Homo-oligomer: A and B are copies of this chain.
Amino acid sequence: MFDKNHLLPGDALKRVLSAIPERQETTERLRIEECYGRILASPVVAPEDLPAFARSTVDGFAVHSSDTFGARESLPAYINVKGEVFMGVAPDFSIGKGECARIPTGGMLPPGADAVVMLEYAQTVSDDMIEVMKPVAPHENIIRRGEDVEEGMLVLTRGRRLRPQDIGALAGLGITGVDVFTKPVVALVSTGDEIVPPGTPLRPGQVRDINSFTLAGLISEHGGVPVKKGIFSDEYGVIRGAIEEALSAADMVLVSGGTSAGVKDMTSTIIDDIGKPGVLFHGVSLKPGKPMIGGVIGNTPLFGLPGHPAAAVVCFDLFILPLLERLSGLDTGKCFPRTVRARMAKSIASSAGREDHIRVALERQGDELLAVPVLGKSGLITTLVRADGMVGIPQEKLGLDAGEEVTVKLF
C-alpha cells in the first residue's frame, strides 16, 4: 500500500481525477424556469438582437440630434412635435429634420430619430412645438438595437452554473429551454454494526447515523443527487453487495463509517476485489481525515470516508466536492469559493508534513472577524454545529499564530 505519512490530500485527489473522464456528457433539455443553479451543457448564442429596436432610456422627446446642436437656455432650439410614441407599439410615423415625438422610457424610437432629449431640458411652447435648452449627442439617452446582445453573439458558455440573471438573459432573448448536464447521482453506503437510523430507540452500544444526513445535505447543496442506500453491517459479503449495487446506478459512491482499522482494510480490499483500477490511495497526511480511501472502478469514483463527523466534512470538502464539480460538468474557472478573511483569536499548533483543517467560530470585532478555534475531538458533531467554517494549515506550517490573518472557508 502507499505510504500513509507523506501523501498530501491534493496529490491523493489528483490520482482519482486523472483516472476518470475529463467531463460528463449526459445532458437533458429543460425549461429555463427549471434551470436555476444548473450547469449549461451547450453554449448559448443569441438568436436575435436584444433589444430588437432602439429604445429610449428616459422620458422625453425623440429627436434628430443635429437639430439640438448649439442649443442653450439663452438660445433654445425650436422643434415641431409630430406625434407621441406609446409603450409596446411601433410608431406609425417617422421624424424628419426639425421634428420630434414624445417618448416614454423604454419606448421605441421612431425612424429618423437618433437621440432623446430628457423632459427636464425641454419646454412646451405650444401643442405642437417645444424648445430644447441643451444639445444631445447622437445615440444619447437611447439603447441602440442590439446594444445589449447582438444576434450571433456568444452569451453563455458551456459549463457555466446558471444564475438568476443568466436565466433572465435567456428569457430576454426568447430562449425558453436549454441543455443542461444531468445532476450526478451520489450513492451513500453507510456501514457499521453499531449504526442505527435516527428514529430507532438506542440499545446500549449503538449510535445513530449522523454522517449520511450531513453528507446528503452537502451533496444536494453542491448540485448532486444523494441516494441513501441504507446502513450495512461490517461483513465482507454485505458491504461488497451494497457497493456493487450502488455502482450500478450512481456516478459516485461514498462508503461512510467503518472507523476501526479492520473495517477500513476490508473496505479497501472490497474496492480492489470489485474491479480496476481499484484503490488509488488509502490514508493521507491530513487531520482530521487520515484514514480516507479513494479509488475508481471503471469510470466511477468511490471513496471510503472516515466515520468521525468532522473528518467526513473535511474529506467532503477536499475530495468529494472537486469530484462532484467534475461530474456535474461545471467550469470552475469562474467559481469563487465562499470565504472570509479573519484573524486567529489564539495560536494553534500543527504537525509539519501534515495538512490540518481546524474548525472555527467567527466573532465580529469592530470591522474585523475573529476566528475562534472550536476545539474538540473530530468525533464530536457539536464541533461542527458550533463552527462557522474551517481554516486549513498547509503541511509546511507548524501552526497559526494569534492575530494572524487567515482565510476561512465558510460552511
Measured CB to CB, the residues of A under 8 A from B are 32-33, 36-37, 48, 50-53, 55, 57, 59, 86-91, 104-108, 119, 143, 147-149, 155-156, 163-176, 192-195, 198-199, 201-211, 213-218, 220-221, 234, 259-263, 307, 309, 313, 334, 336, 338-341, 362, 369, 377, 379-382, 384-385, 388-389, 410-411
Contacts and interface: CB of A to CB of B under 8 A. Distances in A.
B204 A165 contact: no
Given A106-B259, A174-B199, A167 B213 contact: yes
Contacts of A334: 362, 388
A148 B88 contact: no
B381 A165 contact: yes
B382 A148 contact: yes
Q: How many copies of this chain does the complex contain?
A: 2
Contacts of A214: 164-165, 167-168
Given A88-B195, A105-B261, A143-B377, 14 more contacts: A36-B221, A59-B260, A89-B204, A90-B205, A106-B192, A106-B259, A143-B379, A165-B214, A165-B381, A167-B213, A171-B208, A175-B198, A336-B410, A338-B410
Contacts of A381: 50, 148-149, 165, 168-169, 172
A168 B210 contact: yes
14 contacts: A33-B213, A86-B193, A88-B193, A88-B206, A107-B194, A107-B205, A143-B379, A147-B377, A156-B385, A165-B384, A166-B385, A172-B207, A173-B198, A175-B198
Contacts of A175: 198
Contacts of A55: 207, 379
Contacts of A377: 57, 143, 147
Contacts of A50: 381
Given A218-B164, A341-B341, A380-B143, A106 B307 contact: yes
B168 A213 contact: yes
B362 A336 contact: yes
Contact of A198 (B147, B172, B207): B172
Contacts of A205: 53, 87-91, 107-108
Nearest to A385: B169
B211 A168 contact: yes
A113 to B, nearest CB: 14
Nearest to A165: B384
B260 A105 contact: yes
A194 B36 contact: no
